[in-house]
Amino acid sequence: MNTTRTFICIDFPSEIIKEITRVQGLIKRKKFTGKLTKPENLHLTLKFLGNINEEVLKKVQTQLSKIKFPQLECRLVQTGTFNYKLRPRIAWIKILGLNKLQKQIDTTIDSFPQEKRFMSHLTIARIKYTKTPKELINHISQIKTKPLKFQINEFKIKSSELKSPTPIYKT
């Protein structure tokens, strides 16, 4: 039986994508090997389901259809990095306003493990190498995002194919 790499996420309005690409431009000023997330691929994953088949996907869709939530006000907060052995690997923007929705999704889909530590963030760059890791970490963490607010009234189920050079996402 075929499986597809699947996740639940939100997409962003165009004014937020514009701000994200501005921040990416500031990150690019420092030298590193890696990739910025393409604007059309920007999303925030609320729950990663892994490789699932069509039968499981239909169950998940049925469970998720029961979730009702008011329109959420979210906002960009800060930039930062996830590091591995003191080297930056992921540059992100933290987003406020999605924790309750994520918990609701987590408890509704009972056949998947619950997230232990959800940090509402958007991956804006994947970093492979830099000669100056501390400098890059400091540079990214000091970038100020505009405190833009935006509304979320839906989430989506997407799948991805991990193909080089970038993943292909489908709704």
Domains of the chain by residue range: 4-156
Lowest-confidence pick of 69-78, 111-120, 121-130, 135-144:
111-120
The pTM of the full predicted model, rounded to 2 decimals, is: 0.88
Please tell me the distance from the alpha carbon of residue 133 to that of residue 87, in angstroms, as a whole number: 5
Mean pLDDT along residues 140-159: 95
Q: Measuring CA to CA, which residue among 101, 98, 106 is closest to residue 69? A: 101
CATH class of 4-156: alpha beta
| Tokens coding 127 | 């970093």
As a whole-number percent, the residues of the chain with pLDDT over 70 amount to 94
The pLDDT of residue 165 is above 70: no
28 touches 88 (CB < 8 A)? no
